[in-house]
Structure 1
Amino acid sequence: MTFVPTAEKLMPELTTREEIALLARALWREGYNDHLAGHITALQPDGTLLCNPWLVRWDELRPEQVIRIDLAGNLVEGDWPVPLGIPLHLALHAARADVTWAVHNHPLFGTVWADLGEIPPIYDQSSALGGGGDLVLVNEYSGPVNDAATARSAVDAMNGGHLALLAGHGVFVLGGSARAVFQRAVALEQRCQRAWHVRAAGGTPTPVLPAGFLNHLKASDGNGFLGFWESAVRAELRADPTLLDPR
């Protein structure tokens, strides 16, 4: 008998709220764990956004705590407050129909490179798995971080890309699914971590992977690695078997 892997065989069917809660928890384990910081948004067919609320850490988020907001940042559904700094996501979803999922947080190594104002090289294949074109450096501080005009200029500066270091701030990862943004976010932090270690060890600044290989991965939409996201989901459900139980 031949095993044909499908997402349905590898994990339970999930609602978007469940995906957001699982994504938050899985990314927390991957270093996206700056206390109350960070936003995850998922664009819905009616033009609203589902997102994590303010005041709930990513490692404790549950599906029933996920809120719904409109593109003006108003709370439409839920009983938790709208997260601070959400204008970056509002500007993104208003401007780019190609993006349905967005993740922002301050992982350690991604934030270090953002603080340096440098794009880290890719040294190994795991660091390249995110796809999404070129990583760009965006200086979004032309005004306050919760300012709509500043947010629009930051989105424009991404120039259609899906991976960004926000100078002196953190990272911004975009995609078309929870699977895509999880893979891209993990690969980005691995890229930043390993580039830092190579530099600290006095290694070469010249990447060793073939250009053709890197260009192939850059063209990925982040959805091709079946099992990467699904295994993370299973790990979270083992850690908290009640996570998908209604409350």
Structure 2
Amino acid sequence: MTFIPTAEKLLPDLSPRDELVLLARTLWREGYNDHLAGHITVALGDGTLLCNPWLVRWDELRPSQVIRIDLDGRVVEGDWPVPLGIPLHLQLHRMRSDVTWAMHNHPLFGTVWADRGEIPPVLDQSSALGGGGDLVLVNEYEGPVNNAEAARGAVEAMNGGHLALLAGHGVFVLGSSARAVHQRAVALEQRCQRAWHVRAIGAMPRSPLPASFLTYMKDSDGDGFRGFWESSVRAELRADPTLLDNTAPPE
């Protein structure tokens, strides 16, 4: 009889701090790589959040650099500064108790569609993975989201959804786990990339996927595709076997 391991056995035990680092690094490889831009937060349930710090790129982030902040954006643990634009996440976690993980960045194709102010269609099955409800366009650019009022307006405009294009800015992806955010973020950028390439060929077609399939995928909680996140994590750990060592980054 062939033994098929469960997804949990495909990875070592990971703390939320480890998962945050691995999410940042795996998404960097997927195009979420706009230099120092981008934030990932994890709500710990006690009024504090884990967060990647300012001044460290996602591809070099290590667990020892992750900071813990309160909902006013003050550092309560760690010795790195809070990233710019964090009010978007602070407002989100104040207003949305259903969201544990949140990720904002400026991937190329997602940002192109956000700049255009248009929602790209889902044209292939991989671009539909992860669920998260409807992709929302937040098209009222009221200033950068380091402004609390603009950040609150962006969260309200999402209307309880988990995927957004922020006009003139980037993307915002939410979920209940690192796995869900990873799968949704990868699928979102693929959706935006494929739709751009198809449009470059000619007029944008209607999606060839049946409506029933699109509805089924849209309603996914993002945790159903076990193995997708795990395989990406293993690639990161192969690339840097010392990544999860609880030490400062190498000189």
**Shorter-chain TM-score category?**
over 0.9
Give 2:70's aligned residue.
70
2:220 paired with 1:232: no
Residue deviations 1:105-161, cap 9 Å, x none? 000000000010000000000000020010000035224421111111110000000
Give 2:223's aligned residue.
223
Give 2:24's aligned residue.
24
Structure 2 counterparts to residues 12-91 of structure 1, below 5 A? 12-91=12-91
TM-score of the superposition, structure 2-length normalised? 0.96
Further displaced range: 197-206 or 175-184: 197-206
Give 1:104's aligned residue.
104
Residue deviations 1:171-190, cap 9 Å, x none? 00000000000000000000
Against the structure 1 CA distance between its residues 213 and 142, is the aligned structure 2 distance closer, same or farther, given a 3 Å change threshold? same
Q: Is the 1:115–1:168 contact (alpha carbons within 8 Å) kept by the matching residues of 2?
A: yes
Secondary structure in 2 aligned to 1:226?
A: coil
Give 1:148's aligned residue.
148
Letter of the 1:227 counterpart: G
Secondary structure in 2 aligned to 1:69?
A: strand
Residue deviations 1:10-43, cap 9 Å, x none? 1111001100111100000000000000000000
C-alpha distance in structure 1 between counterparts of 2:4 and 2:130, whole Å:
24
Alignment size in residue pairs: 247
Secondary structure in 1 aligned to 2:198?
A: helix
Q: CA deviation at 1:47?
A: 1.8
Secondary structure in 1 aligned to 2:59?
A: helix
C-alpha distance in structure 2 between counterparts of 1:101 and 1:123, whole Å:
27
C-alpha distance in structure 1 between counterparts of 2:2 and 2:224, whole Å:
20
Give 2:201's aligned residue.
201
C-alpha distance in structure 2 between counterparts of 1:101 and 1:5, whole Å:
26
Identity of aligned residues (%): 80
